[in-house]
Structure 1
Amino acid sequence: MRKFLAWAKRGLFVLTPLAVFAAASASAADPSATTRAALQRDLGLTSSQLSQYLKVERLAAAQERQMAQAQGERYAGSWLERKANGDYQLVVATTSIQPQRATADVEFRNVRHSAAALRASKGEIDDLVARGARVPGGVYGWFVDPRTNSVTVNVAPGAQRHAIGFVAASGADVDTLRFQTMASAPMPLATFKGGSEYLSYDGSGYWYCSVGFAVTRQGAKGFATAGHCGNAGDTAFVAVNRRTVSQIGAFAASNFPNSDRAWVQVDNSHTLLPVVDGYGKGDITVRGSTVAPIGAAVCRSGRTTGLRCGTIEAYNVSVQYPDATVNGMTQVKVCAEGGDSGGSFITGAGQAQGVLSGGNYSCKGKQANLATSYFQPINPLLQAYGLTLTVSP
């Protein structure tokens, strides 16, 4: 949790606990029963539909890069898409008008703007903010969306006029822009409450937050988490009971805003396992950190809301929190609540994806269907701090 965000320290996102990670599988080809059940529940899939989805997910992982290289400068992105009959397919967008040969589970789709053009347009908005421009209230973030072949700007109801002026000042290509209403503002997620897997202490108070993935660095061990959970040097604890805490280590590095990443180095007396907490249904093994495609299903594990699954909507999203912009986030259609911050996202094949940064709606009632969450991708986090993800042999 960052000190300059006074609103956060005063109770808007004080952290709650989450026990280790999200959801994975017993093997890359066969998700665990826990993960399958969560995917079927949250994505509305039958067992056979889930099996077909996993087949297409593996196809995407194996062929997506080659297809992008084959399209070259005409490549406009790709994603997993559910068809009307419930089956999934890999869609590859291209600006080429030439007929494309594809297998049964792949569709080539002609679009107007290339991926490079969309990235350049988003980059203009990012540069504007980097130069010190103020993001107007009601502008919640922006990202390249290959599914709509646009740079999509998330805005509050009634805020589109201000958003138009903002992006116009950036010089972004207006033909690439799309405005999407988001009824609730995202914010870094946390809850101020006692009893958690770990707490950060900044010298003035304790803040509950969530463990992400086990990591190592040059013989030192620890875990990845969200940057807004603590500054470098802040100490980390676990709650022994309501009145007693025990120190486990300290924040070795932390970055927020711009990114939302950190890692906590723990003392040698503690054990960190390459698993995700299954909340009474059996721990789930972490296998690696291969990036999943847009449209892929991921699951998030949190002490506050348990195991929740959704689909990836966009990468490299710039998210506007109150008084802070974070870049490079991944947007997921899944709910989360205070206390899930810093927790892990993982695919059904056991591939670590990232740690929870923030979101908007809760997981209660109909709000869960409206919710969007954001995570800090794990691979850039590992690279930034020279960390190695702990995986099962």
Structure 2
Amino acid sequence: MRSSWSRRAALSPLAAALLFAGTLLSPSDAFAAPDPHDIPVAGGISGRSATALSDELGASRTGGFYVDRETDRLVVNVTDEAAAGEVREAGGIARRVTHSMAELDAVTDAFNKSISIPGTTWGTDVKANRVDVQADATVSAADYARLLRTAEPFGSTVRVTRADGRLEKTISGGNFIESSNGLVDCSLGFNVRKKSDPNSLWFLTAGHCLYKAAGVADWRNGAGVYLGYEAGGSYPANDYGLIRHYNADIGKPGNVYLHNGSYQDITHSRDPGADEYLCSSGWKTGYICGYVLQKNVTANYGDGNVGGLFRWTNCIEGGDSGGPVFHGDAALGLNSGKITWNDGCDSLGQQVNEALAWSGTEVY
């Protein structure tokens, strides 16, 4: 179930502006970063082909697919030899696994329906062929026991572990934005435009940034320049928000600032692949990169379950919320939160395609 709201404007599909601390960004500032393809594959089948093949074989015969980091080729998990033969015939690499995607999704659904505990996450580790459930240090012994009881019927399909640190929102952010009351500072995600009207420009950020703005709809950049006003979003349940650009004097290029004087052009969007290398930009942490660890992750920051996230290595910080997650020129997600460990932390992202579909917009 989605949680959504709207202020000052209807929930219509729209598009956006990208700025950094009041500096106008020109499309000519963009550059083509290395490896801008959808998914880095050196031969074999593409991400689109793997998705189509998995859909054709069905959720009971496949267990998702991931990028092999050593070969940069896509590997498709299958549960029977006939399915493996079809993958090989299509030019892909097949890997026999025990649990199908249908089984893995059943675990996630069970937790989604029965668990709402702050400080917990769960999601599919495609490479490990299981659902990993984690509880941070704030989860009580009784609630941890409840997680174990929920997992028990699923056997080896699920693993429950305790994290040393704490799950938290990164609310305080490739480009600085803040609510006009100064209570919330986050990062701008992607410029987007309304599919039905390419001249209608908006931008995406994290839903919890808008949610925590205490009803204030207006947003500005680091120089205090007015950007526009909130047009709705979804949090909790999801973690995306839309702000209407309402300042004609500000440039709105379709790129991401890398915090090193360079920019990455963004031309299209897609979902991130399991084990894929990706990067993020936020005003607090800057430009960082890592690998996807889990898909279909649910996290509870304390406001309720947030579903459909992905988890990746490396650590965003407070202020990075809403910032863009991308691979080359492909938009993948928006920074949502993090879970800290004794020796570091992992980040959580909202898949951008869901936000684009909700708002009827597209990157450019």
TM bracket, shorter-chain basis? 0.7 to 0.9
- 1:208: which partner in 2? 185
Query: d(CA) in 2 for partners of 1:57 and 1:276?
Result: 29
- 1:299: which partner in 2? 279
Instruction: Give the superposition deviation at 1:284.
Output: 1.1
Match of 1:263 among 239, 242, 260: 242
Match of 2:219 among 236, 252, 276: 236
Query: d(CA) in 2 for partners of 1:160 and 1:177?
Result: 19
Query: d(CA) in 1 for partners of 2:103 and 2:124?
Result: 10
| CA RMSD between the two structures | 3.4
Instruction: Give the superposition deviation at 1:151.
Output: 1.7
User: How do residues 158-237 of structure 1 correspond to structure 2 at under 5 angstroms?
Assistant: 162-166=143-147, 168-169=149-150, 173-191=154-172, 197-201=176-180, 205-217=182-194, 218=197, 219-231=199-211, 234-237=217-220
Residues 1:32 and 2:20 are matched in the alignment: no
Q: Deviations over 1:136-162 (max 9, x none)?
A: x6x521112222221210123696874
Q: Deviations over 1:147-182 (max 9, x none)?
A: 222121012369687434235358863442212343
Whichever residue aligns with residue 185 of structure 2, its letter is: Y
Assess if the C-alpha contact under 8 Å between 1:298 and 1:310 holds in 2. yes
Whichever residue aligns with residue 215 of structure 1, its letter is: V
- 1:87: which partner in 2? 71
Query: d(CA) in 2 for partners of 1:250 and 1:172?
Result: 47
Whichever residue aligns with residue 158 of structure 2, its letter is: L
User: How do residues 363-378 of structure 1 correspond to structure 2 at under 5 angstroms?
Assistant: 367=343, 370-378=344-352
Query: d(CA) in 2 for partners of 1:122 and 1:358?
Result: 19
Residues 1:273 and 2:253 are matched in the alignment: yes
Assess if the C-alpha contact under 8 Å between 2:179 and 2:216 holds in 1. no
TM value normalised by structure 2: 0.78
Assess if the C-alpha contact under 8 Å between 1:253 and 1:385 holds in 2. no
Residues 1:345 and 2:345 are matched in the alignment: no
Query: d(CA) in 2 for partners of 1:251 and 1:264?
Result: 4
Assess if the C-alpha contact under 8 Å between 1:185 and 1:321 holds in 2. no
- 2:63: which partner in 1? 76
Distance change >3 Å, CA 71–CA 256, structure 1 → 2? same
Distance change >3 Å, CA 160–CA 331, structure 1 → 2? farther
Where 2:51 maps in the other structure, the secondary structure is: helix
Instruction: Give the superposition deviation at 1:191.
Output: 3.4
- 1:112: which partner in 2? 98
Instruction: Give the superposition deviation at 1:282.
Output: 2.0
Query: d(CA) in 1 for partners of 2:55 and 2:207?
Result: 34
Query: d(CA) in 2 for partners of 1:161 and 1:149?
Result: 28
TM value normalised by structure 1: 0.73
Higher strand share: 2
- 1:123: which partner in 2? 109
Uncovered stretches (5+) of structure 1, i.e. residues with no partner: 3-16, 21-25, 37-50
Where 1:230 maps in the other structure, the secondary structure is: helix
Residues 1:310 and 2:300 are matched in the alignment: no
Assess if the C-alpha contact under 8 Å between 1:197 and 1:211 holds in 2. yes
Where 2:288 maps in the other structure, the secondary structure is: strand
Assess if the C-alpha contact under 8 Å between 1:90 and 1:105 holds in 2. no
Where 1:293 maps in the other structure, the secondary structure is: coil
Query: d(CA) in 1 for partners of 2:261 and 2:43?
Result: 25
Please identify, of 208-217 and 87-96, the stretch whose mean Cα deviation from structure 2 is larger. Answer: 87-96
Assess if the C-alpha contact under 8 Å between 1:304 and 1:339 holds in 2. yes
Whichever residue aligns with residue 347 of structure 2, its letter is: S
- 1:251: which partner in 2? 230
Query: d(CA) in 2 for partners of 1:252 and 1:345?
Result: 22
Query: d(CA) in 2 for partners of 1:254 and 1:317?
Result: 19
Q: Deviations over 1:24-60 (max 9, x none)?
A: xx9xxx9625x89xxxxxxxxxxxxxx9x93349843
Assess if the C-alpha contact under 8 Å between 2:41 and 2:74 holds in 1. no
Whichever residue aligns with residue 354 of structure 2, its letter is: P
Please identify, of 64-73 and 152-161, the stretch whose mean Cα deviation from structure 2 is larger. Answer: 152-161
Assess if the C-alpha contact under 8 Å between 1:156 and 1:183 holds in 2. yes
Runs of 4+ displaced beyond 6 Å: 157-161
Query: d(CA) in 2 for partners of 1:220 and 1:277?
Result: 22
Where 2:146 maps in the other structure, the secondary structure is: helix
Whichever residue aligns with residue 113 of structure 1, its letter is: H
Higher helix share: 1
Q: Deviations over 1:82-126 (max 9, x none)?
A: 3xxx43332211110446363899432222221012102210111
Assess if the C-alpha contact under 8 Å between 1:360 and 1:371 holds in 2. yes
Q: Deviations over 1:222-277 (max 9, x none)?
A: 1100011114761101232xxxx232211111221111110110114132110111
Query: d(CA) in 2 for partners of 1:353 and 1:57?
Result: 22
Query: d(CA) in 1 for partners of 2:190 and 2:73?
Result: 30
Distance change >3 Å, CA 68–CA 280, structure 1 → 2? same
Query: d(CA) in 2 for partners of 1:87 and 1:159?
Result: 42
Where 2:315 maps in the other structure, the secondary structure is: coil
Uncovered stretches (5+) of structure 2, i.e. residues with no partner: 4-17, 22-27
Instruction: Give the superposition deviation at 1:64.
Output: 0.9
Calculate percent identity across the aligned residue pairs: 23
Query: d(CA) in 1 for partners of 2:235 and 2:55?
Result: 34
Where 2:184 maps in the other structure, the secondary structure is: strand
Distance change >3 Å, CA 183–CA 155, structure 1 → 2? same
